Each structure stands twice: as C-alpha cells, then as structure tokens.
Structure 1
Amino acid sequence: MILLTAGAGFRRLGKDLKFTRNHGILAVQVTNADDYPGKVWGIVLDLDPNSGQIVSADATLAPPLGMFGFYVEDGQNHLVGAFADLNDNQQYEKGEPAWFHSDAEGNPIPLPIDPATGKGRTSGTLSKDTVIPARLTSAVKEYRNGRAIDEIITGQGIKIALGELADLNDPKFSAIRGQEGLWEPASFPVSSGIGIYFLEPYDPGRVPVLFVYGMSGSPQDWQPFFKSLDRKRYQPWFYYYPTGRRLDEAADALNNGVKALHAKYRFNQLDVVAHSMGGLVSRSFITKNVLRDGNPYITKFVTISTPWGGHEAAAMGVKRSPKVVPSWYDMQNGSDFQRDLFEKRLRCKVDHYLLFGYGGEKSMILPSSNDGTVSVASQLWPDVQNDVVQVAGFNSDHVGILSNPAVLDLVERILDQEESPASIPAGSKEKSKGLFSGFR
C-alpha cells in the first residue's frame, strides 16, 4: 500500500482526475455474445438529435461473456449496440445478429448517464430479427465514409475480461501496472483492461478461489499462493482492477463479473482470499452478492492484513495532498464506505477468517504496533472482530505475510475445512480451537 508520494505520480493523477470529470462510462453486457462464432463488435454512436448526424463513434471487440464499456464525453445522446460480424468485414450488414439499447417499440434510444454516478448501464441480446432504422444505418455509412473500424475508433473502449486465461509473466500483470492502477484509475481500464482472470481453463470438478490484491498491488503479489494451492482441488482466479478507484465501484464491478461467470459456469462454491485493501473491496462485494442478491455460493472469506479501521496516511493524504487518489477517501477512518461496510453482518452466511500481521518497525505515521504499513488496531477493528469466525496473528510485515509458510499452510487448511465454524457462538472457548492457535 502506497498512500503518499510526490512528483510524477500526482501529475499523472491530476490528468486522470480531469479526464474523469469530463467523461462518463457506458457499461454494456450482450448476454448471448458467446453464441456466435467470430467477432462481436460493441459500438457507441454520438448522434446529434437535431441533424441526425453522427458526431463521433467508438467500437471495441466484445470479450467472452460480452461485457464491455466506453468512456464518453458528458452528454445524453449516445446510442450503444452490438453486432456479430459473421463475415469479418468490420461492418454491420443486414441479416447479421444485432442489438441496440432501445425503447419498448424497438427504436434505438440514447443510454442515459446517471449524474450521481457518472455511469449508464444496460444489457441485451443479439438477434437476427433486430431492425435498425434506415436513418441510422445511413448516418453510420456517411460517418464511416468507407473507413474501417480501426480508422474511426477513439480508443476509449473498456475491455472487461471474464474467464480469460492469464499468463502472470505478462507485463500487464506486473507491479509497475499496479502502480498505474493507483495513480491512473480512470485510464487503467482502457490501457490494461479489468476483470476476473483464470490461470487455467475452467474445471467444474474443482473449487474456484478468487484472489483480490490491495492498494497498488498486482496479481503477481499472489504468486506464493498460486504455487502452494492444491490444483487438484482448487482453481485460482484473480480480480484485476485499478486500486485508485472508489472502493464501492470496484466492489460493484467485481460483483457483476462474478455473477456473469456464475451464470455461465453454475459453480456451487466460490472461496475468496484478499490482501490489504482488497479485503475492504471483497467484503463490500460479498455483502452485495450474498446479502443483497441472495447468492449462496460464497461461504468462505479469508482476509490478510486488511485495514478495517482505515489508514492514518489516507486521512493525511486527503487533507494535505495536492491531488487525492479516489480510494483514499474510502480508506479514511470513519468514512461513509467504512460505516456502510459493517451495517450488515456476514456471520452465519459467510465464514470470515481474519489474518493479521504485527511484524512492523517503528513508524512516524503508524502506532507502535503495526505490520509496517497498517496498524494492528486497524487490522483488528472491533466492528470486524464481531463478525469473524476466527482470528490469527503472524510476526510478519505487510508484504512478507503473503509468503509466510505458516500463512500459506493455514489458508490451505481453511479452504480444506468442510465443517463451518459459523455456528459456534461468538465468545465461545471453542472459537480458539482447531485451525487457529493464536499468535505465530
């Protein structure tokens, strides 16, 4: 976790924040995109309502499961749609399966952007029966003027990868990209994409384990876990996201992705393991997925070194920094996000295992008891202690805890545990038995 720095980071952040102020996000899912061979294009058209002419356009290839998005300049005149490019000529032709966000009569209409969130969201299905008005196809033809798609796109399409296979040696998953996700949370989805990646093809015979890294982190942080995980029983997934964005937004995106994957694969169980700020994102996601949406497949949740009570440097960053990373607002003690996080209890629905570190040295910012990055007091915040099934401490620092053999072993045993301890009353002596034996 890196909360305070200077120079180039703040300059990049300032540019990114300006972009965010001037752009909204249109998020789309074409639910049957995988039913068609070849390419499915997602498109957005900025249509002048007076002249009927297209002012600008963008396009992106829809990834598996058909989720994609676009950054668009503020306005309410954007049409969104998609088509299956059956003959691979980069243009829609009559008879190709298509879809547009439309009114009840099937007429394409602009997708509105909610001023409160800066987002518009919709979904639909491709169909050969879709009728695109002649005036719209004519406007598209005039705008393209014979140009290929890659000649007219603005490059602000957002790729949302769900279930794509990842190579952890790919530079996009490096620590450098993790820093970019902190300082450039808006441009990160365009340059790097976001989503939930697999390390191997989905196997219905193994339990998926979703790993969520923390602030300025990257999937490579989880290498020790990926190596130690029993691949005969489990399949590792990881959430790839910019850690500088607001935490509730990151949680929403994760929830939408998990639900889309569940709709396709129908898995019965999903375990979640999170580090640092990733624990905050994950609890918010699980609250939405389990308590709000009523899904039963998440029953185990492991957090490691999570700042449940906020972070001292976040408040300092919000107060003193020339530009503020959006996620810092949520990392402050007493933030609205932190308050909402504990409004509802997970216990008896999800077993939350809390692992913390205390191997830090003296700090000018942190209390004396810390892991070098997060105070023990924040890791053991009373609100979260009241909602966990078990707690264990380790003499490790914030990063080293991820490669501590005792931590790796304990997490594996938690995943292997079949009986739920959630039925054990809070405060029971039995709570300290079994997997956990206090501080290590």
Structure 2
Amino acid sequence: MKKQRLVILGGGESGVGTALLGKDKGYDVFVSDKGTIKEKYKEVLIHNEIEWEDNQHTESKILNANVVMKSPGIPDAVAIVQQLIKKGIPVISEIEFAAQYTKATLIGITGSNGKTTTASLTHHLLKQVLNVGLAGNIGDSFAKQIIEEGFENYVLEISSFQLDGIINFKPKIAIITNITPDHLDRYDYQFENYIASKFRIAMNQTKDDFLIYDADDDVITNWLKSHPVQSTLLPFSLTKVIENGAYLDKENIIITIDNNQINMSTSNLALEGKHNIKNAMAASTVAHLLKIRKQTIRESLENFQGVEHRLEHVLKINKVQYINDSKATNVNATYYALESMDAPTIWIVGGVDKGNDYKELFPFVNEKVKAIICLGVDNEKLLSTFVNMVDVIVETQFMSEAIKIAYKIADAGDNVLLSPACASFDLFENYEDRGRQFKDAVRNL
C-alpha cells in the first residue's frame, strides 16, 4: 500500500512538529518553506531523515500531496495554496492534523486579546492537579507534544488563522475571550469574516461540550443570537449576574456550574486590571469544570507570574516605571494597557498598522499620556492622529533611541510604556524581539 503523502508548508515550530508526528504515523513527509528554515529546525529534520527544502516551493513535490498542513503565517491567497485548493487537496492547520492522534481532553482558547494570558493562566491552574500540556500558538508544538509527552489534557491557544484550517477539530471546552477588529488584512477587510473565523472553535461542539465567552462583548453576544451553537454556554461578566457561568459581585468572582457554586475574592489577584479579572474568570471556569478545588484555584490565581511582553514591569529607574507590553499588536490590547496606567505615561507606539482605528484610545491619551514616541518605518498616521492631543510627539526607528528620549522626558512617578498597537515586522523580527530590545535598552540606561 502506498504511503499517504503529507506536505508541510512552513518549517517553523508547528511545521516541524507536524513533520515529526506525520513521520511517526507513517506518512511520506515533505517540508517546504518559501523563506529560510532556522538552523535548529533544519537539524531536527535532518536528524529524523525528513525531506525538506527552503527558499522555494517546488510545485511537483507539493501538488502530489494527499493532505497539506499550512503554517498559520501563510495567507490562503498565496499562489501555491490556491493551486492546492483548486485541486481539492485538503489544506489544514497543525491543530486539525494533530488533534486526530490524541484522546486527551482539549481546551481551546481564542480571541483577539487575552488568549495567551488566559491559556497560560488556565494551564497554571490545571497543572497543580492534572497532567496537562500548553500548546498551539504558544510554547512547543502541539503535534510534537503528542508524540513526546502524550499529556491527558491540552490547553491550546488558537489563532483565527489556525481555526481557518480546521475540519473536524472539536475541543471539549472552548473559550472566546473577546472579538475586536484585528488582522482584517487577511479577511478582505470584512469584520464578519473574522468573527466567523473565531466562532469556528465551536463549530463541531455538541451539547456535551462547553463554550466559555465574555457576555459583556456585544460582538460575541450578537453573533450568538443570530448564529446559535450546540455547545453548553458558560458566559462570564463584570456587569451582569450570570446564572450558569461566572460574574463579579463587588470584589468576588462567583462561578456557578450545574448549581455547584464557588466564590473567590479578587483582592489578591496577581494580575492587575479589569481585563485580567475576565481572564481569571475564564480560566477558573475551566478549572471548576475539571473539578479542581477552590483552594487550589485561589492559590494559583494569587501566585501566577503573568506572560512575558504583556504589561511586564521591567525596571524602576529614578522612580520611573518601564513597562514592556510588546505583545499589544492591536488597538484593543493597547486599550487595556492604557486603561490600567495609574500615572502620567510616555507611550511608545507604532509598527505595521493593520488598518487601525485609534479613536477608542482618545480618552486615555487625553487623560494619561504626556508624550508619544512613534517607533516605526511609517509613522504618518500616528502623527496626524495624535499631534494635537499631546505636548510632545517624536519619531524614531531605533529602540535604543526611543528609550533615551523617554528617559529625558520622564519625571519621577511617570510610566514609560511600550504598547505598540501594531505588528512588529517593519523594524523587528517579531514582538518578542521588540520586547527584548526594549528591556535591553532599559537595562543599559
């Protein structure tokens, strides 16, 4: 019998992990990357005798596939993907490919913002008691963990691009943290397309599965009214009383599932800000569903360290607090960051604009921001938007210079906040690189 051919487009973390799982399951595997594959991934492919190419896509070796796993960074619009679709060859994501090879309980988390924090926090709550992996858009590849670790539970952070490539994927528990316009360049600038993409996380769920979501998010609640799902719904809210799900009563989170109620004070939460109360509600609801004790949940919420590059307090120098929020790659993420500032703020912003509308930030900028440093190749839109709102607005293309300017402008008691509201690819490798450069520059002051 001829082996099934698995072709993988993109030789990064998800691509190489899928290649390892594919080989283990008896596929004839080929990895193709239009760019250069990193040395550490090349070594893994060579060591495992998996055929690969980089800096090109050889059509004859790709169009004979039975199934293709596409890295989430590759848009559907590229020529090779369009050719595959025309030929009727399934093009799927790593999440779809890997999920069929595990019987583990899957917890899938998506949303425009908060998904990394919610996924990390959920994993932190569950790992005290359960055998659980953390994968998807975060950490080691899901596919690789299935062969190497074989966890009984997985918390998966899933982007809309990964959800676009699912067919049968069905998490036992799904979370949608929120939906705000993001990545619209990949969705024909139609917000509806992007919303539909996020809701694919629940498309295969039945009444025995659960969907946890933000009931204060009008985009989510309106979509559910007109596009009902089969899942058992467990909403969370800061403003409404929720019968089945989680809500905030003064300082207490109250979670009810099938008349089984727990309540916990928010006064000692390790993470600050309203949005983090929501992240805590979502994660705690999962923990409550999976029968983790209240005491364990409470202790875990109080000792959780947070996520690197997400409102990360770096250093205090001359009574000025430097905060790294490089992970804020869209306006809504920056909204949360500015909302949580409690001192005059020097805001470092800019990068690749994905069709941003900065209007929702105006009240915070007027109230809290004393200076803006634009850090991008093209800062035209930022300059024209904010020039009349702050006394000082400057632009630079170097992180080290941005930090020196901030240092000069800052007074004791101020915050210097890197919260770019944009993607990083114009000046940096990725948001992690941008965040690390910020931290290095601060430490070198």
* TM-score of the aligned structures, taking structure 1 as reference length: 0.27
* TM-score of the aligned structures, taking structure 2 as reference length: 0.27
